A and B are shown apart, each in its own frame.
Chain A
Amino acid sequence: MKTDNYTDLYKLNKAHVVRVFDLTDKEKLFVFRFDDKDLASTWTYKPGQFVQIAVPGVGESTISITSSATRKGFFELCIRKVGRVTSVIHKLRPGDVVGIRGPYGNGFPMEAMEGKDLLLIASGLGMAPLRGVFLYALDNRWLYGRIALINTARYSSELLFREELDAMLDMTTAENLLIMQTVTREPEYPGLKGRATEYIDQTGVDPKNCAVIVCGPPRMYMDVFRKVLQLGFSPDHLYMTLERRMKCGVGKCGHCVAGTATNMVYMCKDGPVFTYYDIMSTPGLI
């Protein structure tokens, strides 16, 4: 009997840290490259997909890929220090190695959004997966209409990729982009203040032909969806990402299962990207 014709689902691929950037007090951006050169040159992924990153002996974490596969040879993860694994990852320095599996998850249907304007709304750590979408769209600029990005956080010190986004402001006119960064709890902040929903009608996207992607804490999703629907956006192209505890990423361990009997979903395999219709038909998803 043949028995070795199955690939190893849990195999860790060795990758090393190329660079580390401090983004905020809690978040760092890590640039990784696979040690295997075939893997380094061919590994690809879709915006919205994630990896399992392992520190052997410590454990594994689920992290969204924050770079875009349009640039090859490396990938980036933005990691918040919250617990055991992420604390050890935060101590990694260039040259240190980790184990990576993936990419996993469905990712955003970027093809289905072609020809449309894009409205990207990120809150807090939600900017990590959204940055992948944003960079992908910029690298395929001709495929999309106007691109508007609203990045929000409680305090300006928590705005992820704030400087990187500020540095792009000089190309917004030429590239038909809009970048807004707003904070909700810092009255003395000189920039924009308030929730993302207050700025949607100023983004200049065409509600009749616009895909909306929201990443942030689940409690903001219905607010945003209610607002965009009220402004006349089509419900056909509303997307978001969701989180659950994940242990395998491949639909086996059962930790990410959510929903009701009529619609049980694996966040890792059926998600983490869901549509407005998904959340309307699956109570308990958000």
Chain B
Amino acid sequence: MRYTKLRKENFHEFLRVLERYGKVYAPHRISEKFYDFREMRDPNDVVTEYPRTVMPPKKFFFEPLSELFKVGLRDFSYSTPEEDIQPFVIFGVHAYDIKGLMILDSVYMEPGLEEKQYAVRRQKALIVGISDMPDQYNFSNVRNADWVDEGFDLFLHPIEEGWLIRVGSPTGHKIIDDNSQLFHGTTLKDIDDFKEHEKRRQLSFPMCMSLSDVRYVLEVNWNNPIWEEEAKRCLGCGNCTMTCPTCRCYEVWDEPDVELSSASRFRRWDSCQFHDHGLVAGGENFREHKVDRFRHRYNCKNSYVKALHCDFCVGCGRCTAFCPAGISYMGIITHLMEAKVHED
């Protein structure tokens, strides 16, 4: 891997340079407690230290609401929306979110079944990662999502003089080469800074355990009373799935235009926590009760991504941090790991 250095004094200039590669979206503080990716207007507003954004970067590729196609009702002509997606840059993405995008890729860009809307956006995006300092909800380390070797163009790690940058793609190399005035060779001291920082970061993760067998833990605890107890507290609001970097369910519907000359098919994000997610004709529902839906999310998130040999959950902690009922995802999982299935 190629390493280079960006000095503190060059940081704002670097953000400006990124704008040459497309519109830049970066973490901004949007309220007292919350951060989110927003279009960058002033590099001074860009935040480099934040626990997590409310919305993961999936929204740039799999949009919350979109039109899939339009059909002429008279001639049955089929067309997809004219899209002119310009290259864009997402700056400041944490490792777990990069891993989340790779997991979404395994679904939305599955070989032979690529979804065009998603794939086109993915091709146009430049990803600049940034090292995060975990807070109490972050368990990306136990998900093996606290570090990525791919899935980014550049990745920034804080060092005393500014930033050590890992270069992860040909576009990343070009950015460095085309703007060489901004970058400097790394010294041994920079490398030590970087290692030191990573060591400190590793020690800050609140959890240290193995989740290798979590799939079995969930399966054998299918009837554990905790599901009912916690599902009772759950409001079914869907915050946990909407903010999850790898949740990707969508609902579709058709809508004729006002002149009834054409009809569009739209899609929007859906949540398995909603009652109608599994509802079929005749009122039958494959996940009728809240507990069925509640438990399903845990099973789905902990199931296996075959293409990447990892779990769907990357441990970002959003589902816990943004749950209005204060339900702790890892709290439930650790409880189940300890639980006895057999009652004496």
Q: A residues engaging B (CB < 8 A)?
A: 1-3, 6-12, 14, 54, 56-60, 82-83, 86, 97, 99, 243-245, 247-248, 250-255, 257-264, 283
On whether the beta carbons of A253 and B218 are closer than 8 Å, the reply is no
- Report the bound CA distance from A14 to B71 in whole Å: 10
On whether the beta carbons of A10 and B68 are closer than 8 Å, the reply is yes
Query: Known: A6-B114, A57-B263, A252-B108. Is A260-B218 also a contact (CB below 8 A)?
Result: yes
- Report the bound CA distance from A54 to B80 in whole Å: 16
Chain A residue with the shortest CB-CB distance to B69: A10
Chain A residue with the shortest CB-CB distance to B248: A254
Residues 304-325 of chain B, each 1 if its beta carbon lies under 8 Å from chain A, else 0: 1000000000000000000000
On whether the beta carbons of A255 and B222 are closer than 8 Å, the reply is no
Chain B at the A interface: mostly helix, strand, loop or mixed?
mixed
Q: Cβ of B215: which chain A residues have Cβ within 8 Å of it?
A: 260-262
Name the one of B113, B216, B249, B304 contacting A9, with C-beta atoms under 8 angstroms: B113
Say whether B123 faces chain A, with CB atoms less than 8 Å apart: yes
A81 → B minimal CB distance (Å):
10
- Report the bound CA distance from A165 to B198 in whole Å: 72
On whether the beta carbons of B265 and A10 are closer than 8 Å, the reply is yes
Q: Cβ of B120: which chain A residues have Cβ within 8 Å of it?
A: 3, 6
Say whether B281 faces chain A, with CB atoms less than 8 Å apart: yes
On whether the beta carbons of B78 and A12 are closer than 8 Å, the reply is yes
Q: Cβ of B281: which chain A residues have Cβ within 8 Å of it?
A: 82-83, 86
Q: Cβ of B219: which chain A residues have Cβ within 8 Å of it?
A: 260-262, 283
Nearest 9 CB-CB pairs, A to B? A57-B263, A254-B249, A264-B303, A56-B71, A82-B281, A261-B215, A57-B256, A6-B116, A261-B299
Say whether B282 faces chain A, with CB atoms less than 8 Å apart: yes
Say whether B255 faces chain A, with CB atoms less than 8 Å apart: yes
Say whether B183 faces chain A, with CB atoms less than 8 Å apart: no
Query: Known: A245-B278, A252-B250. Is A11-B73 also a contact (CB below 8 A)?
Result: no
Chain B residue with the shortest CB-CB distance to A264: B303
Chain A at the B interface: mostly helix, strand, loop or mixed?
loop
Say whether B272 faces chain A, with CB atoms less than 8 Å apart: yes
Q: Cβ of B263: which chain A residues have Cβ within 8 Å of it?
A: 56-57
On whether the beta carbons of B252 and A261 are closer than 8 Å, the reply is no
Say whether B280 faces chain A, with CB atoms less than 8 Å apart: yes
Say whether B193 faces chain A, with CB atoms less than 8 Å apart: no
Say whether B237 faces chain A, with CB atoms less than 8 Å apart: no
Q: List 12 A-B contacts (CB under 8 A).
A: A6-B119, A7-B114, A57-B71, A57-B255, A59-B253, A86-B281, A99-B76, A255-B249, A259-B299, A259-B303, A261-B302, A261-B303
On whether the beta carbons of B73 and A57 are closer than 8 Å, the reply is yes
B283 → A minimal CB distance (Å):
10
- Report the bound CA distance from A36 to B82 in whole Å: 24
On whether the beta carbons of B265 and A247 are closer than 8 Å, the reply is no
Given A245-B278, A263-B303, 14 further pairs, Cβ under 8 A: A1-B87, A3-B119, A6-B115, A6-B116, A14-B76, A54-B254, A54-B265, A57-B254, A99-B71, A252-B248, A255-B277, A258-B286, A261-B302, A264-B304
Q: Cβ of A59: which chain B residues have Cβ within 8 Å of it?
A: 253-254
Q: Cβ of A260: which chain B residues have Cβ within 8 Å of it?
A: 215, 218-219, 222, 299, 303
Chain A residue with the shortest CB-CB distance to B280: A245
On whether the beta carbons of A12 and B252 are closer than 8 Å, the reply is no
Name the one of A6, A54, A247, A257 contacting B300, with C-beta atoms under 8 angstroms: A257
B110 → A minimal CB distance (Å):
7
Find the residue from B248, B300, B304 having the highest chain A CB count within 10 A.
B300
- Report the bound CA distance from A54 to B256 in whole Å: 13
On whether the beta carbons of A261 and B280 are closer than 8 Å, the reply is no
Name the one of A86, A252, A261 contacting B107, with C-beta atoms under 8 angstroms: A252
